[in-house]
Structure 1
């Protein structure tokens, strides 16, 4: 006897997926920075020092005078000597006028006029100590400095971004199939 049999053959569907990943590139350029430092301005003013040396006293101690000073000194010494002479003569004249006082003015005046005063002995330093006089005005230095702040300029650069979107594609790699057969089989 023959019995019909159904035979089924099936093939499943296969899905194929293709992906392209997204890409993101980020680069950060460095910032721009410029720094300028202006030079400082310096001004200096100097007043020279002044040294004064006065050695006129030393020259006078050595009797090395200028003509003007020598004449003035000798004129003063002559005037003083003349006044002392006049005073001595007046005193001696008055002593002669008072002869009645029983003094011996002739003898006294003879001794006074005959002998001059003796000079004193001793050391004399020529020129005398501290005869040269010095004075010094120190120099003055005035320094003016004008500083300037640095000039700083900076700018930020934005990041550079490049984005490529990804993709996704689906398709059937294998179509589904179903085959049905009716087969008669003998028993």
Structure 2
């Protein structure tokens, strides 16, 4: 006996996917930068050094005198010499006038003139130590300083951003189906 068979043929549904990738573009524009340099300032004030050498006394001791000093010395020496000559003449006159002493004044004066006293001398250093006077004033330096710097101005730029979103399309690629077949449709009862 043949039984009737049912054959089922099933087709599953299939879906398809079509994808378009997203596109992203980012562009960074550099910042606008402005830099201004301010220079430093330095001011130097300098007073020069000063050296004063006074050697007038040393030159005078060596005999190189200025006209005013020479004139004053000549006047002073002439005055002293004149007074000394007057004193000597007066003394000799007093000796001659003193006849009461019973001395021969003329012989004594002639002997004194013929045999003078030895000259008084000594060793001296010319010019004498300390006759050159030195005065020194050192230089002075004053420095004033003003620091500079930099002025920086910065403007930030935002990034340029372009974005195209992606897509995913879903479609039915194959429909589902069910086929039913009946096989062996004859029934044999003879058996």
Bigger Cα displacement from structure 2, 164-173 vs 145-154: 145-154
What TM-score, normalized to structure 1?
Answer: 0.71
Task: Summarize the Cα distance change of 1:54–1:83 in structure 2 as closer, same or farther, 3 Å threshold.
Answer: same
Secondary structure at the counterpart of residue 70 of structure 2: helix
Identify the residue that residue 40 of structure 1 maps to in structure 2. Answer: 40
Identify the residue that residue 77 of structure 1 maps to in structure 2. Answer: 77
Q: What is the CA RMSD across the aligned residues, in angstroms?
A: 3.7
How many equivalent pairs are there? 185
Any stretches of 5+ residues in structure 2 without a counterpart?
none
Assess if the C-alpha contact under 8 Å between 1:22 and 1:165 holds in 2. yes
Identify the residue that residue 57 of structure 1 maps to in structure 2. Answer: 57
Aligned partners of 2:35 and 2:119: how far apart in 1?
88
Aligned partners of 1:99 and 1:31: how far apart in 2?
130
Any stretches of 5+ residues in structure 1 without a counterpart?
none
Aligned partners of 1:85 and 1:132: how far apart in 2?
36
Identify the residue that residue 68 of structure 2 maps to in structure 1. Answer: 68
Aligned partners of 2:119 and 2:47: how far apart in 1?
52
Identify the residue that residue 145 of structure 1 maps to in structure 2. Answer: 145
Aligned partners of 1:130 and 1:3: how far apart in 2?
158
Identify the residue that residue 185 of structure 1 maps to in structure 2. Answer: 186
